[in-house]
Structure 1
Amino acid sequence: MEAIFRYVLDQFNIIYQLQAPVEIYYGLNNTSRIQIKAAQTAFFQNTSPFPDAPPVYYTWKNQKIPFWFESLPTEEIITLINGKAIIQVDIIANAFYFLSGWQEYYSAERDQYGRFPYRASLQHQYNFITLPVVNYYFDILKTAIEQVYGITLKSVLADNADFTTCLTHDVDNCQTAWLVEGMQALRKGKFLNFLNLLSLKVAGKDNWFNVPAVMQTVQQYGAQSTFFFLANNRKHQGIANADYDVTQALYQKWLTLLQRHNFEIGVHGSHITALEPGKLAPEKLKIKARVRGNRFHYLRFEPLLTPTLMDEAQLAYDSTLGFSEHFGFRHGTCFPFRLFNFKTQQSYSFLEIPLHLMDATLHHPKYLQLTTDEILPAIKPMLQEIKKFGGCFTWLWHNENFSQNNGHNGPAAFKSIMAYLQEQQANFKTTGRVYDLLQPHRPD
């Protein structure tokens, strides 16, 4: 369990960046200033994806939090004795379970795109997808350190604001609004709308050919965002990748424009890149700009393979890990972290900036069916959890969903979320900027 202990502490230090050593012991030894009670469990010596027993619940920060691997109840979470703090619940085992992605690494459940499905997760089973349980586990440790050492710890992501937000855009389609939106218009009997879309296309400017306009919209809020470009326009097993060729001059002009205005550019790894070696790096090179980060198309991510492919491509960060079916915390956290390599028992080198919300999740035949007016009230509790811990709200709004023809998860919904984030005093940062902030404590 030593490797697990060190891994979890590394993730804690990425965010809180302790300036002096603290004495933390995993177990009870009667001498260390902070002791964390270790659960008597053999769970991590086996390969079962899910704990057999249901969780027990303890209240922390006025919120009931699930804990696994606990056999005996405790009356208090932190016991202070003679200048020492004893944490009476195994926050290490619980944090490791979610941060490492244990459940999806050892589960055989996959959907039609090879993704671990939300319905198979512990979050779905016990209904806590919008509760960042790892942040609560970390907050217990943070509180113990503060009480024993008389210091105040603060998330690096709440340096000059209550919390951080990373707005991102996956650029899948730039040339097919005339077809997709056009067919929708025809089905609704909106013939004039169809003709307008067609005339735009004939004039050489599809309605989704809009990256500069998206950039300008974001600038109106005094913000910058991150654009992930697909560099593969060939279908994979009949499934579309990009409908454009990013190597063409007109798209290269976009890259120059975005960089000039301090927006971030990343690669949007195509379908095959999450599954086969040697595919992601060549796509990165097709994008003639500084590229440090990735998000995989369709949020495809195979935990047995993909982390190794990320390191192989020498990318600094990824921002794929969220559930397509529901907004929330796939790895139980609103903090960036490094995934655990089950073979080497160490962290992977790339930083994961987890995705908490995707526009398609909010209104999709296979996902949620929220109206525009229902979207903000639905996600507010999640945003308040992120704010509580000084976390990073990472969200995705595709360029095509800035179209005025989208009356569901379109411009109106986007504007309501942006206005709320400003009201809550979020600090907008690109994913690259978040990566830079967290670099001083990169684990060995």
Structure 2
Amino acid sequence: MIGVTLKLYETIIVSEFFELFKTPWEVVKQEGIYDVIICDHAESEIFQARLVIIIHRNEGTVFNNRGNTPPQDPLLLQSGKTNFPVYTGIRNIKNGSPLIIVEKTGECIGSSFDEENKTILHIGYDFFEETCYLLTNGQPLEYAGFPTLDIHINNLRTWILAAGIPLIEIPPIAHSSKFFACLTHDVDFAGIRNYKFDLTLFGFVYRALIKSAIQYLKGQYSLKMLARNWLAVVELPLIYMGLLRDFWSTFRQYREIEGRAPSTFFFVPFKNRPGKSEVGTVPFIRAVKYDVTNLSKEILDLMAQGCEIGVHGIDSWVDVDSAREEIGRIQDLIGQSELGVRMHWLYFGTESPAKLEKAGYVFDSTCGYNEQIGYKAGTSQVYRPLGAKRLLELPMHIMDTALFYPDRMNLTFSEGITAIKTFIETATRFGGVLTFNWHDRSIAPERLWDEVYRCALNKLRLHGALFMTAGALVDWFKKRRAIVFSSVFNNGSSIKVKLTGTHVCSVDGMILRIYPPSKRASGDISDASTTAAYCDYWLTDLKKEVDFIF
């Protein structure tokens, strides 16, 4: 059991941290017995825990970091072989065995002291405050590639295991899988036939004819890809006449590529509405040209194949009345009440979670970058935004346009596949969800990003991903959050865990992971979480208690 005693803290932030690191914890009670104590004062001798973690935070910053910029310049820290940024300030730590250092200067930010029956860690940053900052503001683009919050969780796990203390957790993975994969599609076009003599059509013709030829000469396109784009331009008159299939209507092709993997399609509820910003109007090009009611057959076909339909919101993020109108439009179309949303162009504000929740949305999946792929909230887990009570956030990590647009990452296809592979490898380490956003027209001419998408799906399968729709994943994490460790009894030779508040069943594949006690580590402890032995128990509707003998 972990006991937390901090002089200045908000319980909601600490609670959210331990929803992501799902392990037994509580605010320290006078009669409590704890293996681990996390505190922010130096009287460690008063605690009888085997591991005492003392947070030395930067003074004056406690849980006050909800602006748009970090209170200090971010710093890159190093713990063993892992680097990670911090945003809310640091304190130098003197004496002890170095545990965490500033990458550039080598200054000690964390150290370890071993006593006869106790390990004391002095940590010169506040990982709870970092959690608050990450979930509220998100990371700057410079550090987008760091799963920072997941690293903070893994650091705490590592420190506990290195101290030889048994650990119980419900990891963010399902039985027989390494992580979850969520395939999503923002439906922005739904057919080239909707565009006549406008910038979208002219841009398509230019890129299909001229830019494709340039990419072919540079070796970036094959002859087959060039021919495919040129043929698409030739076919345009027949498509407008209704004699050929519209190649920007890609729902059937996506299902052929994805096979048994379900996916989530976000549809814009109203045509010709560009929406508004917090300060006024937005470019009219943000408006879509399709009427979602004309796609009812395609939508019903997708649902019949196990896919999910969500709202690609216009003004839901900024106005509750608009949010209710937008969700109502899709609810009436598909006959379902519980829907999720992703905002068009990823528009979002600090008050958006509360407004979306008030309008009736179950989850949001807007948290991500337009400019590049990455972990905006620093995590691959579903979390609850601090401005919401029920709404959950499914972060988006990999978006096709971020990878390949010239004014964004501007990667080649092979570079894009390499970047995706890096994120998949990270997912196998930390678990959670790797969320993709591949737009509806991206597998069609002139983008031709279908082979990259196929390759990504193959790599996901090879690395043990479990595919689920966005809503199903949110439900899974909601069940995990509802579990309560009602009692944990450790007599030194065995441990007994009782769970309540759980509605999981065998199909959920949720597991209880138990790390038995081990010999206290010495020297470099940074890999303790990756080398420690553990036992997994498959939680079902009949299994609410676990007895484990060391």
TM > 0.5: yes
Contact 2:17 2:128 in 1 (8 A): no
Tell me the number of residue pairs that the alignment of Structure 1 and Structure 2 aligns.
Answer: 409
Query: What is residue 88 of structure 1 aligned with on the other side?
Result: 123
Sequence identity of aligned pairs in percent? 23
Q: 1:170 to 1:53 in 2, by over 3 A?
A: closer
Deviates more, 1:316-325 or 1:235-244: 235-244
Query: What is residue 406 of structure 2 aligned with on the other side?
Result: 365
Gaps of 5+ in 2: 1-5, 27-33, 100-109, 196-200, 214-228, 275-281, 485-550
Q: Does 1:64 align with 2:83?
A: yes
CA–CA distance in 1 between the matches of 2:127 and 2:242? 60
CA–CA distance in 2 between the matches of 1:46 and 1:192? 54
Q: 1:434 to 1:367 in 2, by over 3 A?
A: same
Q: 1:32 to 1:262 in 2, by over 3 A?
A: farther
Query: What is residue 513 of structure 2 aligned with on the other side?
Result: none
Q: Does 1:400 align with 2:441?
A: yes
Contact 1:85 1:144 in 2 (8 A): no
Query: What is residue 133 of structure 2 aligned with on the other side?
Result: 97
Selected match of 1:306 from 342, 352, 375 = 352
Query: What is residue 73 of structure 1 aligned with on the other side?
Result: 93
The AA in structure 2 aligned to 1:135 is D
Query: What is residue 301 of structure 2 aligned with on the other side?
Result: 257
Query: What is residue 207 of structure 1 aligned with on the other side?
Result: 247
Task: Report which of the two has the higher share of strand.
Answer: 2
Q: Deviations over 1:61-108 (max 9, x none)?
A: x2122335222136135656535664624221222221222x6xxxxx
CA–CA distance in 1 between the matches of 2:256 and 2:418? 26
Q: 1:259 to 1:84 in 2, by over 3 A?
A: farther
CA–CA distance in 2 between the matches of 1:100 and 1:437? 23
Q: Secondary structure at the match of 1:330?
A: coil
Query: What is residue 181 of structure 1 aligned with on the other side?
Result: 204
The AA in structure 2 aligned to 1:43 is T
Listed as ranges, the matches of 1:384-423 within 5 Å are: 384-407=425-448, 410-423=449-462
Query: What is residue 224 of structure 1 aligned with on the other side?
Result: 262
User: Offset at 1:19?
Assistant: 5.8
The AA in structure 2 aligned to 1:254 is E
Contact 1:5 1:92 in 2 (8 A): no
Q: 1:284 to 1:148 in 2, by over 3 A?
A: farther
Deviates more, 1:385-394 or 1:185-194: 185-194
Listed as ranges, the matches of 1:10-49 within 5 Å are: 10-18=15-23, 24-28=37-41, 29-30=43-44, 31=47, 33=49, 34-44=52-62, 45=64, 49=69
Query: What TM-score comes out, normalization by structure 1 length?
Result: 0.82
Contact 1:338 1:349 in 2 (8 A): yes
Q: Secondary structure at the match of 1:214?
A: helix
Task: Report which of the two has the higher share of helix.
Answer: 1
Listed as ranges, the matches of 1:145-156 within 5 Å are: 145-146=160-161, 147=163, 149-156=165-172
CA–CA distance in 2 between the matches of 1:11 and 1:318? 17
The AA in structure 1 aligned to 2:355 is L
The RMSD of aligned alpha carbons is 2.9
Query: What is residue 367 of structure 2 aligned with on the other side?
Result: 321
Gaps of 5+ in 1: 104-120, 342-346
CA–CA distance in 1 between the matches of 2:482 and 2:182? 20
Q: 1:403 to 1:10 in 2, by over 3 A?
A: same
Which is greater in Rg?
A: 2
